[in-house]
Amino acid sequence: MNALIKELARDSGLLVHNPNGLPTKLEAFAKSIINSCLCIVEESEGYSQHFPHVVDNIRNHFGIE
């Protein structure tokens, strides 16, 4: 799981590790939220003209390919 996603989860009081050894769905949930937000940015008027690198910068920031 991306370190930033783990940090944000901990700051929110969420578990980032399941003591039973099973992976959590937290990373998939976080990526889903981030990707939904990125879709809004990409669909915004003027995005491609004024902010062409915003989506890439956000993806890099959260470690999402």
How many domains in the chain?
Answer: 1
- How many residues are listed for the chain in this entry? 65
Between 37 and 28, name the one with better pLDDT: 37
Determine the pLDDT at residue 41. 92
Average pLDDT for residues 10-19, to the nearest whole number?
81
State how far the Cα of 6 lies from the Cα of 26, in Å rounded to an integer: 9
Checking if the pLDDT of 22 tops 70, the result is no
State how far the Cα of 21 lies from the Cα of 30, in Å rounded to an integer: 20
What's the pLDDT band for 61 if we cut at 50, 70, 90? very high
- Per the domain annotation, does 19 fall within a domain? no
- Per the domain annotation, does 53 fall within a domain? yes
- Per the domain annotation, does 18 fall within a domain? no
Determine the pLDDT at residue 1. 63
Range of the domain at 50: 3-13+24-62
Average pLDDT for residues 30-40, to the nearest whole number?
93
